[in-house]
Amino acid sequence: MANDIDFYFDFSSPYGYFAANRIDALAAKYQRAVKWRPVLLGAIFKRSGVLPLMEIPLKGEYSLHDIIRTARFHGIPYRHPSTFPISTQAPARAVLWLQNNAGDAEAIAFAKAAYHAFFVDDINIGEPEQVKHIAEQLGLPAGAMIDGIATPAIKEQFKTAVELAVARGVFGSPYVIADSEPFWGFDRFDQLEAYLKNGTI
């Protein structure tokens, strides 16, 4: 089987959420699995000097319009969160903890549920109690997970993961690397599909 596709995303990124809705099905169509890799855009933006989307004059206002229109265009449910953006350390570390202690499938199920909670049900997934509740609803070991994401070990693991992402060139969300080919943005999924189909682009 071909290499896993690396899917980098921030839980506070609407375009990351759109990608999360589609990446597994797209990859499966071409016999690929996806490695879900949460990152922290805040930490990445600090390195690149880029402002968060919503803070850029003109672009911020346009972006909100574009996000809502893009969701509608692609038939993806979306309600803009009342608290936005948020800090996403808690759900990001939860994904890592689940990958370590439960499995990739469980981590992906949690990530999808967390994204849905934030961008459809307007639940602030930056709060550990919400993260715990989402894991409980999926029948995951929520208590152990919440203890786990507060440990220095998982914090260090996540910090290293973000640094490795930056070292691979990741500067935004979603950011997909298939083999060594990088694709930034949900709007490059057409090119990602062409690459997966043809093995070149």
SS (H, E, C) 76-93: CCCCCCCCCCCCCHHHHH
> Rounded to the nearest 10 degrees, how much is the dihedral formed by the CA atoms of 83, 84, 85, 88?
40
Q: Which amino acid is at 93?
A: R
Residue 162 near residue 39, CB atoms below 8 Å: yes
Residues 123 and 201: their CA atoms lie apart, in Å, by: 39
Question: Applying CB under 8 A, which of residues 3, 169, 197, 199 lies at the interface with its own copies?
Answer: 169
Q: Total residues contacting its own copies (rule CB under 8 A)? A: 31
Task: Work out how close the CB of 183 gets to its own copies at its nearest, in angstroms, rounded to a whole number.
Answer: 8
Residues 24 and 133: their CA atoms lie apart, in Å, by: 24
Q: From residue 60 to residue 99, what is the string marking binding to its own copies with x (rule CB under 8 A)?
A: -xx--xx--xx-xx--------------------------
Task: Work out how close the CB of 40 gets to its own copies at its nearest, in angstroms, rounded to a whole number.
Answer: 15
Question: Applying CB under 8 A, which of residues 1, 25, 31, 49 lies at the interface with its own copies?
Answer: 49
Task: Work out how close the CB of 178 gets to its own copies at its nearest, in angstroms, rounded to a whole number.
Answer: 13
Q: Does 52 bind its own copies (CB under 8 A)?
A: no
- Applying CB under 8 A, which part among 50-58, 114-122, 126-134, 156-164 lies near its own copies? 50-58
Q: Does 58 bind its own copies (CB under 8 A)?
A: yes
User: Which among 137, 18, 159, 16 is positioned nearest to 76, based on CA atoms?
Assistant: 18
Residue 9 near residue 173, CB atoms below 8 Å: yes
Which residues of this chain interact with its own copies, rule CB under 8 A?
47-51, 56-59, 61-62, 65-66, 69-70, 72-73, 166, 169-172, 182, 184-185, 187-188, 190-191, 194, 201
